[in-house]
Amino acid sequence: MLSTLFSTTRPAIVLFGALTLLCGVLYPLAVTGIGGVAFPSQAGGSIVERDGKAIGSRLIGQSFSSPQYFWGRPSATGPMPNNAAGSSGANQGPTNPALVDAVKGRVDALKAADPSNTTPIPVDLVTASASGLDPEISVAAAIYQASRVATLRKLPREQVVALVQSHTQPQYFGFFGEARVNVLALNLALDAEAVHTR
């Protein structure tokens, strides 16, 4: 009876061991190795350094609250915004009063930071994404903020808009998504621009 049990379970045990080795060890090692060779920056987290110190990642949004900087997309991760360990959205529907209140609060904050701006606010400045970690905003969202940033930094608006345009990334493969701007890269370039104009 034991030999019958062993002979019937042996293929399942061998298959379990083989799949564990293949899917749990060999495949992750191969993907990690190929990723490290083919895409070393991305595999390493696309870390951005300034003066030899890590200050962020090009792949994960950063929280900028000073009006002298471009603001990124709102984040609904917990317990803090842009928490890479807790990637998530708010999962609130468009008729949820909590979402409506959050969007109204974000609209009020944008208007308070730039009261003279009467152009429509781009939707990605007031709504969080599904991941809560978006490092990029639309070109319209960056242009919307250009006047505020230029005024507070005492730079010509045209210079700030040109900076936005020089950091605009095209659609993926020329047709997926929309053109976008990495907020961290733009803000670092903005700081560098301010140093050069002093």
155, with CB counted inside 10 A (0-12, 13-18, 19+), is middle
Cβ proximity of 82 and 75 under 8 Å: yes
Q: Predicted confidence band at 79 (pLDDT cuts at 50, 70, 90)? A: confident
Q: Which residues contact 109 (CB under 8 A, 6 or more apart)?
A: none
Q: Which residues contact 181 (CB under 8 A, 6 or more apart)?
A: 70, 136, 137, 138, 139, 141, 142, 164, 167, 168, 169
CA distance 167 to 73: 17
- What are residue 180's DSSP bridge partners? 138, 169
- In this prediction, residue 195 carries a pLDDT of 61
Q: Predicted confidence band at 194 (pLDDT cuts at 50, 70, 90)? A: low
Judge whether residue 5 has pLDDT over 90: no
Give the 3-state secondary structure of residue 176. strand
- Reply yes or no: is the peptide bond before residue 120 cis, omega within 30 of 0: no
Q: What is the mean pLDDT of residues 115-134?
A: 93
pLDDT digits (tens, 9 = 90+) for 82-108: 888 888 877 888 889 988 999 999 999
- In this prediction, residue 111 carries a pLDDT of 96
Q: What is the mean pLDDT of residues 50-73?
A: 91
pLDDT digits (tens, 9 = 90+) for 163-177: 999 999 998 888 888
* Amino acid type, 41: S
Q: What is the mean pLDDT of residues 126-150?
A: 94
Instruction: Give percent above pLDDT 90 in the chain.
Output: 57
